[in-house]
A and B are shown apart, each in its own frame.
Chain A
Amino acid sequence: MTSTDQQPFLSVRDLKVHFSTEDGVVKAVDGLTFDLAKGKTLGIVGESGSGKSVTNLTILGLHDRERTAIDGEILLDGKELLTASERELERLRGNKMSMIFQDALASLSPYHTIGRQIGETYRKHTGASKKEARERAIEMLRRVGIPQPDVRVDDYPHQFSGGMRQRAMIAMALVCDPELLIADEPTTALDVTVQAQIMDLLKDLQQEFGTAIIFITHDLGVIADIADDVLVMYGGRCVERGTKKEVLRAPQHPYTWGLLGSMPSLDGPVDVPLSPIPGSPPSLLNPPSGCRFHPRCTFAEKVADGRCSSERPLLEVTDGRGAACHLTADQRRDFFADYAATRSH
Chain B
Amino acid sequence: MSNTNPLLDVTGLTKHFPVMGGFPFKRKIGAVQAVDGLDFQVAEGESLGLVGESGCGKSTTGRLITRLLEPTGGSIKYRGQDITHADRKQLAPVRSEIQMIFQDPYASLNPRQTVGKIISGPMEINDINPAGGREKRVRELLEIVGLNPEHYNRFPHEFSGGQRQRIGVARALALEPKLIVADEPVSALDVSIQAQVVNLLQDLQRDLGIAFVFIAHDLAIVRHFSQRVAVMYLGKIVEIANREDLYGNPRHPYTRALMSAVPEATADDVPARERILLKGDVPSPLNPPSGCRFRTRCWKATEKCATEAPPLVQVSGNNDGHLTACHYPETTETVPAQRLAESPEAAV
Contacts and interface: CB of A to CB of B under 8 A. Distances in A.
B196 interface: yes
A245 B265 CA distance: 10
A24 interface: no
B24 interface: no
Interface in B131-185: 160, 162-163
Given A262-B192, A333-B347, A340 B342 contact: yes
Interface residues of A, number: 61
A276 B193 contact: yes
A3 interface: no
Interface stretch (B99-107, B219-227, B309-317): B219-227
B262 A266 contact: yes
Contacts of B198: 264, 274
B263 A225 contact: yes
A248 B198 CA distance: 23
A274 B344 CA distance: 20
A250 B348 contact: yes
B125 interface: no
A224 B342 CA distance: 15
A261 interface: yes
A98 interface: no
B277 A197 contact: yes
A337 B347 CA distance: 8
A343 B341 contact: yes
By DSSP majority rule, is chain A's interface helix, strand, loop, or mixed? helix
Interface stretch (A9-17, A53-61, A186-194, A309-317): A186-194
A21 B191 CA distance: 27
Nearest to B163: A280
Interface string A177-196: 00000000000000111111
B264 A265 contact: yes
Nearest to B346: A250
Nearest to A252: B348
Contact of A267 (B193, B247, B267, B280): B247
B265 A270 contact: no
* A162, A220, A270, A276: residue with the most chain B Cβ atoms closer than 10 Å: A276
A332 B277 contact: no
A97 B266 CA distance: 30
Interface string A257-275: 0111111111110100111
B321 interface: no
Interface in A198-218: 199-200, 218
B267 A218 contact: no
B344 A267 contact: no
Contacts of A87: none
Q: How large is the interface on B (under 10, 10 to 19, 20 to 34, 35 or more residues)?
A: 35 or more
A322 to B, nearest CB: 11
Contact of A196 (B54, B277, B338): B277
B267 A260 contact: no
A275 B160 contact: no
A40 interface: no
A52 B243 CA distance: 36
A344 interface: yes
B303 interface: no
Interface in B318-344: 336-342, 344
B91 interface: no
A249 B267 contact: yes
Contact of B190 (A47, A278, A329, A337): A47
Contacts of A324: none
A233 to B, nearest CB: 13
A266 B347 contact: no
B192 A276 contact: yes
B224 A224 contact: no
B195 A262 contact: yes
Contacts of B336: 266-267
Interface in B25-59: 53-54
B247 A192 contact: no
A108 B252 CA distance: 37
B194 interface: yes
B195 A274 contact: yes
B265 A263 contact: yes
B199 interface: yes
Given A220-B265, A343-B341, A200 B191 contact: no
A275 B199 CA distance: 8
B163 A337 contact: no
Given A192-B258, A222-B263, A265-B265, 10 more contacts: A192-B219, A194-B53, A195-B263, A221-B264, A260-B265, A266-B336, A267-B338, A270-B223, A276-B195, A278-B196
5 contacts: A47-B190, A220-B265, A248-B266, A249-B267, A270-B224
Interface of B: 53-54, 160, 162-163, 190-196, 198-199, 202, 217, 219-221, 223-224, 243, 247, 257-267, 272, 275, 277-278, 280-281, 336-342, 344, 346-348
